[in-house]
Amino acid sequence: MHTKKFALAAVLAAGALIMTACGGDDDNSGTEPTSPSSSGTSTGGTVELSVEDFTTDFAAMSKLTDIASQGQGKIAAILPDTVTSARYTQFDAPYLQKAFETAGLTQDTDFTIQNAQGSTATQLTMAQSAITNGAKVLIVDPLDKGVGAQIENYAKQHGVDVIDYDRLTLGGTRTYYVSFDNVKVGELIGNGLVQCTKDWGVTDPKVIEMAGDPTDNNATLFQQGYDSVLQPLVDSGDLTVTAKPAGTWDPPTALTAFQQAFTANPDSNAVLVPNDANAAPIINFLKSQKISAETFPVTGQDASVPGLQNILAGYQCGTAYKPIALEAQGAAALAIFLNAGLEPPSGLVNGTTKDTDSGVDVPSTLLIPIWVTTDNMNDTVVADGAVTVKELCTAAYADACSAAGIS
């Protein structure tokens, strides 16, 4: 696990920059650092736990077995879908399960993990049913803020805590929020695009700027991050944004929007895309137009296998990697403290995130993402087990894997 430690060190070393890396004050980043609590409130008995303790072997979760045994009900995790990203079935669900089980909990008896399959009605029903069946804490990645608010209002009426997982429900009443520093994610994507234009010799960048679904607060934060990188270059005349299509997390819709923008602006020579799933069909379209590798920069996020393979093939510049194993442990740990009626330690709740609808600063567990290219792919996503060499280095990508030091 030597290389795995190296990858996690990159996350933890960045921890001290978790707020300053986002461009300064709360208005810019939506996040603020939290000082250690000086109150007399119990913070988990004798257990000290911080975000720095989480590793991909889940060892930190074993510290929570005694607290987990004090649970006053069930914990229910409700994930959104299987379309916008493969992460929810490939990573989040199994990682949440491992986190809970390492803390001594049993699936179905002590916790449940479900996926709403893209239906807001299903997600609401799952939350209501979980509460009826004894859940005292919900971990919810809401499909949109509407259903998120409905779930949180219902939970509040029944005395149930809600942790917003990965997406913040604007205007909601959640207790905590767990995610990565999403403005930093956007900054990584923006800087990745700029560096890629230099590396690939695009001397006069004309960029189509894509976006995620505008109803998703994460998409807003991502855009805030990459706009903070691109706008100064636009102002200086060093880069042109040729189009900003309407945002979406649906890959076919994103492709159509890109094709329309590219047809209207045929001199465009780069595209900023905020996730791998939307980037994949755009890259396939560019290939169909006989556009060669390392000539038309494309960005992404999520470190999916197709995204990583597109990076190896020279069609995608990089991807914002969020070690989901760490995020899942943060959510599971918070839920275990809440289920035991204890306040989480200040090292676990290491920041706040502004709910711009309500004006509330939401106590948050925030983790730092990593920009992955061929230069560090082996020491990050491969070393962390986010992807296996067998999955990544199929016959078509064997030579590229070898060149990247992946074997």
pLDDT surpasses 50 at 263: yes
Cβ-based neighbours of 277, under 8 Å, separated by 6 or more: 84, 85, 86, 249, 251, 302, 304, 307
Q: What is the largest CA-CA distance in the chain?
A: 65
Question: How large a percentage of the chain has pLDDT more than 90?
Answer: 81
When pLDDT is averaged across residues 140-148 and rounded to a whole number, the result is: 95
Check residue 35 and give its pLDDT.
36
- Is residue 31 over pLDDT 60? no
- Please check whether residues 272 and 344 belong to one and the same domain: no
Q: How many CA atoms lie within 13 A of 130 on its CB side?
A: 34
**What is the C-alpha R_g of the chain?**
21
Q: What pTM did the predictor assign?
A: 0.73
Does residue 44 come out as left (phi exceeding 0), alpha (psi in the -120 to 50 range) or beta?
left
Lowest-confidence region among 7-21, 175-189, 230-244: 7-21
In which band, very low, low, confident or very high, does the pLDDT at 47 lie, cut at 50, 70 and 90? confident
Please give the pLDDT value at position 45: 54
Residues 214 and 312 reside in one and the same domain: yes
Pairing of strands 240-243, 206-209: parallel
pLDDT at 148 over 70: yes
223 and 140, same structural domain? no
User: Which tokens is 228 given?
Assistant: 């903070």
152-161: average pLDDT: 98
Q: What is the span of the domain harbouring residue 398?
A: 182-321+371-403
Nearest Cα residue to 53 out of 403, 274, 341, 350? 350
Mean pLDDT, rounded, for 4-15: 38
- At 341-365, the pLDDT tens digits run 999 999 999 999 999 899 999 999 9
Handedness of CA 96, 85, 53, 353 (dihedral sign): negative
Give dist(CA 113, CA 15) in Å, integer. Answer: 29
Same domain, 35 and 134: yes
User: Are 287 and 315 in a shared domain?
Assistant: yes
Tokens of 211: 């976006």
* Mean pLDDT value across residues 381-391: 93
What secondary structure letter does DSSP report for 381? I
Same domain as 268, residue 186: yes
Q: Give 240's contacts (C-beta < 8 A, 6+ positions apart).
A: 204, 205, 206, 207, 234
Mean pLDDT value of segment 385-405:
96
Say if 7 falls within a structural domain.
Answer: no
Residue 111 lies in a domain: yes
**Confidence check: pLDDT of 260 > 70:** yes
Strand partners, 243: 208
**142 with 207, same domain?**
no
3 has a pLDDT exceeding 60: no
Which helix H or strand E contains 123, and what residues bound it? helix 120-132
Residue 400 in this model has a pLDDT that exceeds 60: yes
What is the C-alpha to C-alpha distance for residues 32 and 24, in angstroms, rounded to an integer? 9
Looking at the fold, whether 210 and 349 belong to one and the same domain comes out as: no
DSSP 349-373: S-EEEEETTTTEEEEEEEE--EEE-
Q: Which contiguous run of DSSP H or E holds residue 189?
A: helix 182-199
The predicted structure's pLDDT at residue 56 = 87
Four-point Cα dihedral 336, 337, 338, 341, nearest 10: 120
* pLDDT given at position 158: 98
- Structural domain count, the chain: 2
pLDDT, greater one: 368 or 190: 190
pLDDT in tens, 202-246: 999 999 999 999 988 889 999 999 999 999 999 999 999 999 999
Report the C-alpha gap between 117 and 119 in whole angstroms. Answer: 6
Q: What is the three-state SS of 147-159?
A: HHHHHHHHHHHCC
- Is residue 228 a part of any domain in this protein? yes
What pLDDT band is residue 30 in, cutting at 50, 70 and 90?
A: low
Per-residue confidence (pLDDT) for residue 365, from 0 to 100: 95
Q: Which long-range contacts (CB under 8 A, 24 or more apart) does 390-399 make?
A: 391/305, 392/305, 392/308, 392/309, 392/312, 394/309, 396/309, 397/309, 397/312, 397/313
Provide the pLDDT for residue 85. Answer: 73
Across the range 104-108, mean pLDDT stands at 98
Give the residue-averaged pLDDT of 186-196: 98
Name which of 9, 150, 101, 136 is nearest 328 in CA terms: 101
pLDDT tens digits, one per residue of 56-82: 899 999 999 999 999 999 999 999 998
Residues 188 and 279 both lie in one domain: yes
* Pairing mode of beta strands 161-165, 176-180: parallel
* The pLDDT of residue 27: 33
The mean pLDDT value of the chain amounts to 89
CATH of the domain at 207: 3.40.50.2300
When pLDDT is averaged across residues 292-320 and rounded to a whole number, the result is 97
Neighbour count for residue 337 (Cβ, 10 Å): 28
In a domain, 3, yes or no: no
Q: What is the DSSP letter of 180?
A: E
Helix (H, G, I), strand (E, B) or coil at 74: strand
Asked whether residue 1 is domain-assigned, the answer is no
- Are 237 and 147 part of one and the same domain? no
- Check whether 17 has a pLDDT greater than 50: no
Averaged pLDDT, 388-395: 97
- 124, part of any domain: yes
In a domain, 146, yes or no: yes
Non-local CB neighbours of 239 within 8 Å, separated by 6+ positions: 194, 197, 205, 206, 207, 230, 233
Question: Which pLDDT score, from 0 to 100, does residue 215 have?
Answer: 87
Q: Are residues 97 and 211 in the same domain?
A: no
Residue 12 included in any domain: no
CA distance 129 to 124: 9
User: 382 and 316 share a domain?
Assistant: yes
